[in-house]
């Protein structure tokens, strides 16, 4: 039975992604709830029926009280069959309806709605651009992906378990009392008006208060995760206390916002108790008065008393359920700040897979300043023939990383074009573009998975032999065999830790190289690919890199100029423009920027004595690549 209800909705069913999700709350929720429409209708019906049965049982109790005034033998003779039918209904039919109601909520809706939202929200966020991620905390994004689905599930649960049930129950109570004596509805309707005003006041105040609490909790999460992610820097500078104070500021803000929220609940609870006293006294007192006047039976008094006592017990639950509903809606609204952001970097509707034939790269009057007045690239025109190896040098902020990010389409250029084999990179699918490009970065970030998983990330369908061959070529195989993690997994099965923290910088770099070797893409981008290696390993890896470059179009960013001196061509970027272009010997003979860099380098490092603003977000390593030899 459980499995039947659990499989009513498939949270992983194919769907059409929405690049511009609704920014308003209800349309946002309705978008995710669409696969549950049938289940929601059925849950509404069962909730209303359950409430109606509860009212019916109270009416039946009043009827039983009235028939008990007669002779027992006559009562059984006249009503025995009805009493037996009522007992059968209570023993069998009512539990079946209740089981259906509970199964729809607990098995069909709760597990699947949250899963569907989390899966689709994660899919949406993964489609965001690199620039989008650079503008937020990874911890805060993850926190919203984790918090929003259960909050939305709680909204659905409270809607059907409390709101729908209580509305049906109150309507039924009015009808029941009105059928007994219309005058009994007067105190009930008066109480309903006051109760509605209290709910309105609570919701209007709790919703923003709960959103403020959720925002404050996210701030705490962001600061804590930031410290944990950069724990090496925290320890290196001995700033444990500073980080604790930084977190304490956010923690205290969360405490203050939560206290303000809880004051609302206390006020609500006090007002609710006063209202419930009015309800009991008003309805039961009026029923007793009518009975004493001979205008109501004992059964009516019993039913009215049972009804208001039941309402008295329910009002606190309804109020908490309602405030919980709006509190969870506040959490969903906070999550929408991340989940509902539109995808701005998209494939065009007619985008086709990139057809890589030669690997020719053309830049046509390319400009990108990240929306600012300077920095980045400025009117760069460049052609890199297929198979050519190009070295890229320049001071920090010259535009090197911008060129690479535009080539990978992490950003769209503000002006101009990039063509690969004659195809505009903004008009081909992003996946096919990046599949055709291999890149080794200076900051070799690995996934928190096994060594095998990290290498196979380059080509998941590669064989074990191909993976090991790539590791050998990257001079990684021997040290990989000696790895062992805390769980006892060894070699290629060993876990590398978050961002590869369990490995040395050189080991991470060699695994990254193995990954790119295995990918074997026609275009190769190298960003200080050997900077994390010691001299002996670097010398061996250089031969590997030159082997990797054969038959590929290569762009290599370097501050250690000796690593690119043998390139076919060297481009010197300065102020976002190409200042010099030519082979190593020609640029040296010219006596320009490149010659001055070469003359002033120490150990082959580019001197950066006049750094510019790093608006193009060149990696931080640009600014600490070495000191110039004076």
Task: Report DSSP letters for 474-493, one per residue.
Answer: TT-HHHHHT-B-TTS-BGGG
- Give the pLDDT of residue 580: 95
Ramachandran category for residue 467: left, alpha or beta (phi over 0 → left; psi -120 to 50 → alpha):
alpha
Ramachandran category for residue 460: left, alpha or beta (phi over 0 → left; psi -120 to 50 → alpha):
alpha
* Mean pLDDT computed over 498-517: 86
Q: Is residue 16 part of a domain?
A: no
How far, in Å, are 19, 65, 84, 464 from residue 471 at the CA level? 39, 85, 79, 11
Work out how many domains the chain is built from and give that number. 3
- Give the pLDDT of residue 88: 92
Residues 365 and 216 in one domain: no
Q: What is the mean pLDDT of the chain?
A: 87
- Give the pLDDT of residue 494: 94
Tokens 């769209």 correspond to 412
389-394 vs 523-527, strand pairing mode: unpaired
Find how far residue 290's CA is from the centre of its chain: 60
Last-in-domain residue among 520, 541, 566: 520
Residues 199 and 289 in one domain: yes
- Give the pLDDT of residue 280: 87
Pair of tokens at residue 206: 């709790």
Confidence class of residue 605 from pLDDT cuts 50, 70 and 90?
low
Q: Is residue 18 part of a domain?
A: no
Q: Is residue 424 part of a domain?
A: yes
Task: Give the model confidence (pLDDT) of 4-63 as tens digits.
Answer: 999 999 999 999 999 999 988 989 999 999 999 999 999 999 999 999 998 888 888 888
* Mean pLDDT computed over 208-217: 83
Q: Which helix (H) or strand (E) holds 367?
A: strand 361-368
Residues 500 and 368 in one domain: no
Task: Give the model confidence (pLDDT) of 346-375 as tens digits.
Answer: 999 999 999 999 999 999 999 999 888 778
Chain length of the chain? 630
Using a CB cutoff of 8 Å and minimum separation of 24, what contacts does 32-35 make? 32/113, 32/116, 32/117, 32/120, 32/152, 33/113, 33/156, 35/9, 35/10, 35/116
Q: What is d(CA 286, CA 288) in angstroms, rounded to the nearest whole number?
A: 5
- Asked whether the beta carbons of 149 and 117 are under 8 A apart, the reply is yes
- Give the pLDDT of residue 312: 84
Q: What is the DSSP track for 20-89?
A: S--SSHHHHHHHHHGGGHHHHHHHHHHHHHHHHHHHHHHHHHHHHHHHTTS-HHHHHHHHHHHHHHHHHI
Residues 197 and 303 in one domain: yes
Tokens 């109501």 correspond to 296
Is 313 a residue whose pLDDT tops 90?
Answer: no
Predicted TM-score (pTM) of this structure: 0.78
Residues 328 and 413 in one domain: no
Confidence class of residue 531 from pLDDT cuts 50, 70 and 90?
low
- Which positions ≥6 away from 197 have C-beta within 8 Å? none
Last-in-domain residue among 305, 339, 373: 339
Instruction: Report the alpha-carbon angle 187-193-194, nearest 5.
Output: 90
Residues 464 and 541 in one domain: no
Q: Is residue 461 part of a domain?
A: yes
Residues 186 and 236 in one domain: yes
> Where does residue 628 rank: exposed (0-12), middle (13-18), buried (19+ CB within 10 A)?
middle
With CA atoms as reference, report the closest residue to 612 among 398, 367, 403.
398
- Asked whether the beta carbons of 160 and 44 are under 8 A apart, the reply is yes
Instruction: Return the CATH number at 508.
Output: 3.40.50.300
- Give the pLDDT of residue 425: 96
Using a CB cutoff of 8 Å and minimum separation of 24, what contacts does 296-301 make? 296/180, 296/181, 297/62, 297/65, 297/66, 298/65, 298/66, 298/69, 299/61, 299/62, 299/63, 299/64, 299/65, 299/66, 300/62, 300/180, 300/181, 300/184
Residues 452 and 432 in one domain: no
- Give the pLDDT of residue 613: 40
Last-in-domain residue among 339, 373, 400: 339
* Mean pLDDT computed over 459-468: 95
- Asked whether the beta carbons of 168 and 47 are under 8 A apart, the reply is yes
Residues 308 and 395 in one domain: no
User: 3-state SS of the chain: helix, strand, coil percent to 5?
Assistant: 65, 10, 25
- Give the pLDDT of residue 137: 77
> Where does residue 63 rank: exposed (0-12), middle (13-18), buried (19+ CB within 10 A)?
middle
Q: Which phi and psi angles does 406 have, rounded to 5°? A: -70, -40
- Give the pLDDT of residue 326: 80
Instruction: Tell me what percent of the residues of the chain surpass a pLDDT of 90.
Output: 47
Q: What is d(CA 121, CA 469) in angstroms, rounded to the nearest whole number?
A: 38
Residues 307 and 289 in one domain: yes
Residues 507 and 535 in one domain: no
- Which positions ≥6 away from 524 have C-beta within 8 Å? 437, 438, 439, 516, 548, 549, 552, 553, 554, 555
The boundaries of the domain holding residue 389 are 360-436+530-630
* Mean pLDDT computed over 133-151: 87
Residue 607 DSSP one-character state: P
Q: Is residue 371 part of a domain?
A: yes
Q: What is d(CA 556, CA 278) in angstroms, rounded to the nearest whole number?
A: 80
- Which positions ≥6 away from 323 have C-beta within 8 Å? 202, 203, 206, 265, 268
Q: What is d(CA 462, CA 433) in angstroms, rounded to the nearest whole number?
A: 20
Is 627 a residue whose pLDDT tops 50?
Answer: no
Residue 431 DSSP one-character state: H
Residues 535 and 503 in one domain: no
SS3 438: strand
- Give the pLDDT of residue 534: 66
Confidence class of residue 228 from pLDDT cuts 50, 70 and 90?
confident
Q: Is residue 506 part of a domain?
A: yes
Ramachandran category for residue 374: left, alpha or beta (phi over 0 → left; psi -120 to 50 → alpha):
beta
Q: Is residue 574 part of a domain?
A: yes
For the chain, the distance separating the N- and C-terminal CA atoms, rounded to the nearest angstrom, is 80
Confidence class of residue 140 from pLDDT cuts 50, 70 and 90?
confident
Q: Is residue 432 part of a domain?
A: yes
Instruction: Return the CATH number at 152.
Output: 1.20.1560.10
553-557 vs 523-527, strand pairing mode: parallel
- Which positions ≥6 away from 498 have C-beta within 8 Å? 229, 448
With CA atoms as reference, report the closest residue to 595 among 393, 381, 377.
393
Residue 428 DSSP one-character state: B
Task: Give the model confidence (pLDDT) of 176-187 as tens digits.
Answer: 888 888 998 999
Confidence class of residue 169 from pLDDT cuts 50, 70 and 90?
confident
Pick 67 or 451 by higher pLDDT: 451
């Amino acid at each position: 039975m459980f499995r039947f209800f659990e499989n009513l909705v498939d949270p992983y069913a194919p769907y059409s992604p929405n690049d511009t999700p609704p920014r308003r709350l209800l349309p946002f929720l309705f978008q995710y709830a669409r696969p549950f429409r049938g289940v929601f209708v059925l849950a509404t019906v069962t909730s209303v029926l359950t409430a109606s049965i509860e009212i019916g049982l109270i009416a039946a109790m009043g009827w039983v009280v009235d028939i008990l005034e007669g002779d027992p033998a006559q009562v059984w003779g006249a009503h025995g069959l009805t009493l037996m039918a009522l007992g059968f209904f209570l023993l069998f039919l009512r539990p079946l309806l209740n089981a259906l109601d509970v199964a729809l909520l607990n098995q069909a809706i709760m597990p699947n709605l949250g899963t569907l939202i989390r899966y689709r929200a994660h899919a949406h966020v993964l489609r965001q651009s690199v620039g989008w991620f650079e503008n937020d905390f990874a911890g805060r994004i993850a926190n919203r992906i984790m918090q929003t689905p259960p909050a939305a599930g709680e909204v659905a649960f409270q809607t059907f378990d409390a709101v729908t049930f209580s509305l049906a129950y109150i309507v039924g109570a009015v009808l029941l009392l009105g059928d007994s004596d219309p005058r009994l509805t007067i105190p009930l309707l008066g109480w309903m008006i006051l109760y509605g005003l209290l709910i309105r006041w609570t919701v209007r105040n709790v919703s923003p208060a709960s959103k403020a609490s959720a925002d404050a909790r996210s701030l705490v999460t962001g600061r804590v995760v930031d410290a944990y992610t950069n724990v090496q820097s925290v320890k290196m500078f001995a700033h444990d206390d500073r980080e604790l104070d930084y977190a304490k500021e956010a923690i205290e803000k969360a405490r203050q916002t939560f206290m303000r929220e809880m004051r609302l609940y206390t006020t609500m609870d006090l007002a609710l108790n006063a209202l419930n006293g009015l309800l009991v006294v008003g309805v039961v007192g009026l029923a007793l008065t009518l009975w004493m006047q001979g205008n109501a039976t004992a059964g009516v008094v019993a039913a009215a008393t049972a009804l208001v006592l039941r309402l008295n017990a329910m009002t606190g639950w309804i109020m908490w359920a309602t405030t919980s509903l709006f509190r969870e809606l506040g959490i969903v609204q906070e999550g929408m700040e991340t989940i509902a952001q539109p995808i701005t970097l998209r494939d065009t509707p007619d985008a086709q897979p990139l057809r890589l034939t030669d690997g020719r790269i053309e830049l046509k009057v390319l400009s990108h300043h990240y929306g600012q007045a300077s920095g980045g690239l400025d009117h760069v025109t460049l052609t890199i023939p297929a198979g050519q190896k190009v070295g890229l040098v320049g001071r920090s902020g010259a535009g090197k990383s911008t060129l690479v990010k535009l080539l990978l389409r992490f950003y769209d250029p503000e002006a101009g074009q990039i063509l690969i084999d004659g195809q505009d990179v903004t008009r081909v699918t992003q996946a096919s573009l990046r599949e055709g490009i291999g890149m080794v970065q200076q900051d070799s970030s690995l996934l928190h998975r096994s060594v095998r998983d990290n290498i196979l990330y380059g080509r998941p369908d590669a064989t074990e032999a191909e993976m090991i061959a790539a590791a050998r070529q990257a001079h990684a195989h021997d040290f990989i065999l000696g790895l062992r993690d805390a769980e006892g997994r060894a070699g290629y099965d060993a876990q590398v830790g978050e961002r590869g923290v369990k490995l040395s910088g050189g080991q991470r770099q060699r695994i990254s190289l193995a990954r790119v070797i295995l990918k074997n893409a026609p275009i190769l981008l190298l960003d200080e690919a050997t900077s994390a290696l010691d001299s002996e390993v670097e010398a061996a890896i250089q031969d590997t890199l030159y082997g990797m470059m054969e038959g590929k179009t290569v762009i290599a960013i370097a501050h250690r100029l000796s690593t690119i001196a043998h390139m076919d061509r060297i481009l010197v970027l300065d102020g976002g423009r190409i200042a010099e272009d030519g082979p190593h010997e020609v640029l040296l003979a010219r006596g320009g920027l490149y010659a001055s860099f070469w003359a002033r380098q120490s150990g082959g490092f580019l001197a950066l004595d006049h750094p510019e603003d790093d608006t193009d977000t060149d990696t931080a390593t640009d600014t600490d690549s070495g000191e110039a030899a004076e």
